[in-house]
Structure 1
Amino acid sequence: MMARTLALVALAALLPATPALAGDVVITVTDLRSTKGVVRACMTTREDIFPKCIKDPTAHRTVVPAAKTVEIRFTGVKPGDYAVALLHDENDNGKADRAMGMMPKEGYGFSHDAPVKMAPPKFKDAVMKLGEGVSRIAIKMRYFL
């Protein structure tokens, strides 16, 4: 019996590790001030590009029509540490418009409701650990002006 158990343990050690399964991330976005334009969303594992991951081809990205409440779904997401950045691009011009070159004129949101203090949040403030299966998060859209 002991030899059989040892043989099974040895066999299991030789088998390749089962890769982690990809999952889905469902983001519910609330508190949009209007239904104008679109919501641009990106989700990245890269601290060096966050929160400007909207134009990064390696990030999970999407654009959806604005509504009172918006649901965004990313599929095929490998488990790992991710941060989400949202932009309510009300005039749909593909960029975050600013007043006096600094203050955002359009809505924004981040995973973990990461704080915005004179600058966008840091990756470490917005990061979340995603596993297999479906992960659901909620993000409130914020407006400076």
Structure 2
Amino acid sequence: MRTIIVLSLLALLGLAQVLSAQTLTIEVRGIEKVKGQLYVAFYSSEDTFLKKPLTGLRVEVTDTVLTIPCQGLPEGEYAFALFQDENGNGRLDTAAFGIPTEKSGFSNNAEGIMGPPSYDKCLFCLQKNTVMVVNLK
């Protein structure tokens, strides 16, 4: 009987997390070539930023502006990075010195100097349904 009660409580807690999850809608602009896929990776700590995403998704590029609903993220602090994989090889292609040859972007439209922006520049707090605009560069 205890097992059933514990399992029921765990199920309710899981349901509460889903119900309290917010929708982040990302509007991606600056897509020059309507081809390939857009990869989005979410991070929840500076230690994992650009190394090990918390979660991610892949979307087919079908227009020069994409609206991507990201559901299921609980309230919290996040940063995301995205890139357009034009050639379909599943990774961000780079040239000499690691300079990207495919378009990319970050939450808050953050930009780095001589490399990607810091986690702090990309960090945002998700507390309610939110729309963020990102311009690929």
Question: TM-score normalised by the shorter chain: which range applies?
Answer: 0.7 to 0.9
- Radius of gyration: which is bigger? 1
Q: Deviations over 1:34-89 (max 9, x none)?
A: 11111000122121121344xx3xx2311011121111121111111110101111
Letter in 1 for 2:28: V
Q: Which runs of 5+ in 1 are unaligned?
A: 1-17
Q: Percent identity over the alignment?
A: 28
Aligned CA RMSD, in angstroms, stands at 1.8
Give 1:92's aligned residue: 88
- The amino acid that maps onto 1:21 is S
Q: 1:52 to 1:72 in 2, by over 3 A?
A: farther
Q: TM-score, normalised by structure 1?
A: 0.76
In the other structure, the counterpart of 1:31 is: 30
Cα drift, residue 113 of structure 1: 0.9
SS in 2 for 1:32: coil
- How far, CA to CA, are the matches of 1:72 and 1:43 in structure 2? 13
1:98 shift after superposition: 0.9
| 1:1-145 mapped onto 2 (5 Å cutoff) | 21-53=20-52, 56=53, 59-66=54-61, 67-132=63-128, 134-142=129-137
Q: What secondary structure, in the 3-state scheme, does the structure 2 residue paired with 1:104 have?
A: coil
Q: State the 4+ residue runs in structure 1 displaced beyond 4 angstroms.
A: none
The number of residues matched between the two structures is 120
**Are the counterparts in 2 of residues 51 and 120 from structure 1 also a CA contact under 8 Å?**
no
> What's the secondary structure of 2:89's corresponding residue?
coil
Q: CA deviation at 1:101?
A: 4.4
Distance 2:97 2:91 in 1: 13
Would you say the 8 A contact 1:88–1:108 is kept in 2? Answer: yes
Q: TM-score, normalised by structure 2?
A: 0.80
CA distance in 2, matches of 1:70, 1:106: 17
Query: What amino acid is the match of 1:28?
Result: E
Which structure 2 segments of 5+ residues have no match?
Answer: 1-15
Contact 1:51 1:121 in 2 (8 A): no
